[in-house]
Amino acid sequence: MSQGPRRAIWPDDRSPGAAVPAHQPRRSSPASEQPTWAPPAADQTPAGVPGPAGPRRRLPTAAKVLLAAVLALVVVIAGLWAAGGFQTRQTLVDKQAGEPLDLGPVELTVQQAISYDFAGEAQIEVPASCRLTTEQSAGTVHYAIARNSFAGVRVNGEVQLSSEVMMTLGVDDGLYFGQTRQILSPGVPAVACVLRFTLPLAALDADTVTVLLWRLQFTEQSNVKNDQDTSKTWNASSDGYRVQLPLTQVTR
């Protein structure tokens, strides 16, 4: 009984060991013919695992130098800001009672201070002598001095500061705010003046008072009406004086 043709079990339809004609190349194994759409072979990198890193991109030398300079500048600016380098530095010079204080347009001399109760508040008066040292008109300079003066006392470890300041020119005649009015004029000898500070009532228990007076300078300021025209006025500079005076409580 004759058998039908055997079913080929090899890809080239030949038996093992059969010769391959010269015109027909032997087929490669299926494993070596991976189509582009096939999943990766076992020796390829599995999905989800990063492959080998490519070449690193480095900053040019010029960019590194520029970056270092910017960082150094930031550090310097931060240091200046922390040290208060962008703020106007205020300088206070300590003076003794009786020493002349050069306030710019006026030379002021103070000796002592008195305190008293006035309408439930402490009034501290600092008698002084004032002399005009400039040829410029100074009709309102005493207002500028008062606006830029402060007083403070320490009572039971707490500091009490002045809330209001007033300066008058002339000699007190013994009545409340009774003054023989005088004016500051160029070439005129020193005239009597008084600085009055209003503080909390607890300031009456203090034995000394510290007075701060800022030196004045003639500076330009914009006109508040139209913000275009300018005028010069006496304003505080960044320098001033600090004087500690004995404080005597009186009854008025």
pLDDT bin (cut points 50, 70, 90) of residue 170 is confident
Q: Is 12 helix (H, G, I), strand (E, B) or coil?
A: coil
2 within some domain: no
pLDDT bin (cut points 50, 70, 90) of residue 7 is very low
76 versus 92: the higher-pLDDT residue is 92
pLDDT score for 114: 96
Give the number of other CB atoms < 10 A from CB of residue 182.
Answer: 15
Mean pLDDT of 134-145: 79
- The model's pLDDT over 31-67, given as tens digits with 9 standing for 90+, comes to 555 555 445 555 555 555 555 555 566 667 777 777 7
List the domain range (segments joined by +) for residue 170.
91-223+231-249
- The model's pLDDT over 200-226, given as tens digits with 9 standing for 90+, comes to 999 999 999 999 999 998 887 655 555
Structure tokens at 89: 């530095």
- For the chain, the residue count is 252
Distance CA 17, CA 133 (A): 127
11 within some domain: no
192 within some domain: yes
191 within some domain: yes
Query: What is the tally of structural domains in the chain?
Result: 1
| Whether the Cβ atoms of residue 150 and residue 164 lie closer than 8 Å to each other | no
pLDDT bin (cut points 50, 70, 90) of residue 81 is low
72 within some domain: no
pLDDT score for 11: 45
Distance CA 68, CA 63 (A): 9
pLDDT above 60 (res 20): no
204 within some domain: yes
The CATH number that applies at residue 108 is: 2.60.40
Name the residue among 236, 242, 225, 240 with its Cα closest to residue 143: 236
Say which residues have a Cβ less than 8 Å from residue 147's Cβ, sequence separation at least 6.
165, 236
Distance CA 190, CA 216 (A): 18
Distance CA 162, CA 199 (A): 5
71 within some domain: no
17 within some domain: no
- What is the Cβ-side half-sphere exposure of residue 17, based on CA atoms within 13 angstroms? 0
Give the number of other CB atoms < 10 A from CB of residue 120.
Answer: 7
Which residue is associated with the tokens 């380098």? 85
